[in-house]
Amino acid sequence: MKLAPSILAADFGHFARDAKRLEVAGADYLHIDIMDGHFVENITFGADVVKAIRPVTKCLLDCHLMVENPEKYVDSFAQAGADSMTIHVEATHHSHGALQKIKAAGMRAAIAINPGTDISAIKHVLNLVDMVLVMTVNPGFGGQKFLPECLEKVRELVEIRDFQGLDFEIEVDGGVDDQTIVACREAGADVFVAGSFIFNGNIEENIEKLRAKLL
């Protein structure tokens, strides 16, 4: 099981410093939230920030694109050094083609679904992806309340993966803390994103608190 701290909650003036600190503290993936102000209300940053972080860490750079038409940005993220690119099924008419493009660019490809989206929307791309991101808040902002009803989709994905003999990871994102992570683990998630819980207080201690719940 993997921990993926979200740098959305980091100090925007010191991404490289915080990325290094998260790696040393035991992060598996660094979760990088890209928001365009269209697909979601908020605007964060783009491939240039990925490029700036790349040289300071060996962690897998897990780029979560909350942007419309994400297929337009595949090349720039690959060139910036992203390892994994997650696109939202709600953000493109061409999720299958976009995922193929991500794989062809040499990255891991992942598909994300919002709380209001059913698993049926992604069933035809499950054979293509390395990871499915189940949002456990509505995307756009850190620090929101965890939505436990989304875990039903994690359980469904575990069943489908077993039944079809697939091997994608299941990631949960939004409102994950040292309490809600237990329900996520029990539902069958493999990768746990956490932003505000990790950055609110001592980063190393908070990562340890989450890790302890995964043992």
33 or 169: CB nearest ligand DX5: 33
Rounded distance, CA 168 to CA 10, Å? Answer: 28
**31 annotated among ligand-binding-site residues:** yes
Q: Which of 33, 130, 169, 171 is close enough to bind ligand DX5 by CB under 6 A?
A: 33
Q: Is 190 a catalytic residue?
A: no
Strand arrangement of the beta sheet that strand 2-5 belongs to: 2-5, 191-194, 169-173, 131-135, 108-113, 84-88, 60-66, 29-35
By CB under 6 A, tell whether 18 contacts ligand DX5. no
107 within 8 A of 84, measured Cβ to Cβ = yes
Among 9, 10, 53, 64, binds Zn ion (CB under 5 A): 64
Q: Print the binding letters for residues 139-178 with ligand DX5: x by CB under 6 A, - otherwise.
A: xx-xxx----------------------------xxxx--
- Of the residues 18, 33, 36, 130, which is catalytic? 33
Q: Does 196 bind ligand DX5 (CB under 6 A)?
A: yes
106, exposed or middle or buried, with CB in 10 Å at 0-12, 13-18, 19+?
A: exposed
Footprint of Zn ion on residues 120-159 (CB under 5 A)?
none
118 is in an annotated binding site: no
Contact set with Zn ion (CB under 5 A): 33, 64, 173
